[in-house]
């Protein structure tokens, strides 16, 4: 199966359109902070032959596939094995002072969902790993084996907005006393059994719990909270950032960071806004854009996407 068959980049043409004004000059630098299998980057490298790319990913399998996909672009591409909050070090480590365009395509990738033994998908029985970087860190099975009932409830409530968080946490504590919960199929069975019959038609009971475990294992929200301000700081005047989120917690963090960057810092009551108080950035899309019904029909994984974008107007004071 070809890469085009297993990986369809979300909102590809819209991303190209939004980043294009920042990539027109020869020598412009694109940072793909979530390289994945390289679909967005491939299109941008093709359409802007004068640019170079710094591609970041914590998943070494993704980097390996992207390296094969982008090999024809030679030394125009630099690959960096890092989490996206390492964006500043990655850019500087590549010998660059700034980045003209930055793309974030957040969440779990097609590669991670489709490889059963990664444990991300509740529809497939597999070891409960869920690490995006399989070279280090705590697995989902470790979390289920060691967290207290209160800690499990906290992550299910915070990262999954799960109304049955307490009930599921109690069920997990009881079940692990009998045997380790180290496979996705066993966890799904536990959650199914703990779900009241009246609620079983309201979506799969494992969806929000699996999301919560994935976010906890990979520290996704904490990394994102650091990454967006760091990325904004790397952009020169005219530089652009595009961020695609797939769940509400991510989107809220992105929305808040961009709101702060596009706000005036003038003190309340000041009759005239001084230049040093003017917004550093402007939003270049209204609110959060979604995929069209046509794209969702072609690629169901585009259904939850929320895209936000901004452009730098002035240097920091």
Q: Which residues are annotated as a binding site for S-adenosyl-L-methionine?
A: 38-40, 57, 84, 105, 112
- Residues with Cβ within 8 Å of 115's Cβ and at least 6 positions away in sequence, in order, are 61
Q: Where are the alpha helices (DSSP H) in the chain?
A: 3-6, 12-19, 39-47, 60-69, 87-93, 110-114, 140-146, 149-160, 165-176, 184-194, 207-218, 220-234, 248-261, 293-298
Instruction: Provide the annotated binding site.
Output: 38-40, 57, 84, 105, 112
Provide the token pair at 15.
Answer: 């991303």
User: DSSP character for 293?
Assistant: H
Provide the token pair at 238.
Answer: 């005219």
Query: Are the C-beta atoms of residues 32 and 55 closer than 8 Å to each other?
Result: yes
* Alpha carbon distance 131, 106 (integer Å): 15
In angstroms, how far is CA 131 from the centroid of its own chain?
14
User: DSSP character for 169?
Assistant: H
Query: Are the C-beta atoms of residues 160 and 120 closer than 8 Å to each other?
Result: no
């Amino acid at each position: 199966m070809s890469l085009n068959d297993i990986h369809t980049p979300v909102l590809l043409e819209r991303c190209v359109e939004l980043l294009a004004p920042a990539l027109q000059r020869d020598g412009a630098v694109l940072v793909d902070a979530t390289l994945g299998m390289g679909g967005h980057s491939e299109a941008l490298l093709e359409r802007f032959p004068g640019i170079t790319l710094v591609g970041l990913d914590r998943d070494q399998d993704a980097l390996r596939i992207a390296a094969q996909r982008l090999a024809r672009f030679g030394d125009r591409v630099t690959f960096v094995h890092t989490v996206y909050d390492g964006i500043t070090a990655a850019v500087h480590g590549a010998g660059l002072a700034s980045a003209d365009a930055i793309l974030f395509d957040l969440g779990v990738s097609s590669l991670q969902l489709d490889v059963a033994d990664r444990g991300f998908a509740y529809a497939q029985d597999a070891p409960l790993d869920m690490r995006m970087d399989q070279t280090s860190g705590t697995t989902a099975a470790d979390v289920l084996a060691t967290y207290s009932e209160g800690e499990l409830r906290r992550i299910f409530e915070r990262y999954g907005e799960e109304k049955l968080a307490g009930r599921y946490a109690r069920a997990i504590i009881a079940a692990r006393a009998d045997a380790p919960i180290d496979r996705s199929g066993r966890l799904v069975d536990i959650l199914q059994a703990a779900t009241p019959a009246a609620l079983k038609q309201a979506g799969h009971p494992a969806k929000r719990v699996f999301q919560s475990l994935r976010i906890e294992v990979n520290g996704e929200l904490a990394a994102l909270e650091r990454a967006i301000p760091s990325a904004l700081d790397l952009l020169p005047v005219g530089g652009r950032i595009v961020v695609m989120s797939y769940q509400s917690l991510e989107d809220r963090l992105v929305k808040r960071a961009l709101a702060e960057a596009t706000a005036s810092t003038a003190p309340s009551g000041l009759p005239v806004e001084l230049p040093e108080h003017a917004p550093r950035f402007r939003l270049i899309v209204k609110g959060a854009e979604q995929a069209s019904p046509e794209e969702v029909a072609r690629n169901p994984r585009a259904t939850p996407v929320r895209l936000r974008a901004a452009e730098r107007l002035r240097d920091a004071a």
